[in-house]
């Protein structure tokens, strides 16, 4: 298991991982919208909706999934 400081956690998890998830989720959204004939809302609107109520929940769930697959990321030995 890899342990990181709270500062590194904030920079890596809250910024890098959350932003990376947002980009990948938008790519998936765009692909599905195109495949099924829906109009793509655009990245700016997607980002607004994502950060207005989904970012933290999705981030936490994705990290839990990754931890179950062997990629442990925990701040200062704390449990999720």
Task: Check: pTM over 0.75? Answer yes or no.
Answer: no
Domain total of the chain: 1
Residue 14 has pLDDT above 80, yes or no: no
CA quadruple 73, 16, 9, 74: dihedral, nearest 10 = -10
Residue 80 located in a structural domain: no
Residue 79 located in a structural domain: no
pLDDT tens figures, 18-37: 888 999 999 999 999 999 99
**DSSP letter at 13?**
I
Domain of residue 52 covers: 2-72
Residue 8 located in a structural domain: yes
Residue 77 located in a structural domain: no
pLDDT of residue 80: 45
pLDDT of residue 28: 96
Task: Count Cα atoms within 13 angstroms, Cβ side, for 72.
Answer: 11
Asked whether the beta carbons of 73 and 4 are under 8 A apart, the reply is yes
């Amino acid at each position: 298991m890899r342990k990181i400081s709270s500062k590194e956690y904030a920079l890596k998890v809250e910024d890098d991982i959350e932003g990376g998830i947002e980009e990948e989720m938008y790519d998936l959204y765009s692909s599905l919208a195109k495949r099924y004939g829906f109009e793509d809302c655009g990245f700016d609107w997607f980002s607004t909706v994502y950060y207005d109520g989904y970012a933290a929940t999705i981030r936490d769930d994705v990290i839990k999934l990754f931890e179950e697959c062997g990629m442990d990321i925990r701040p200062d030995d704390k449990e999720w």
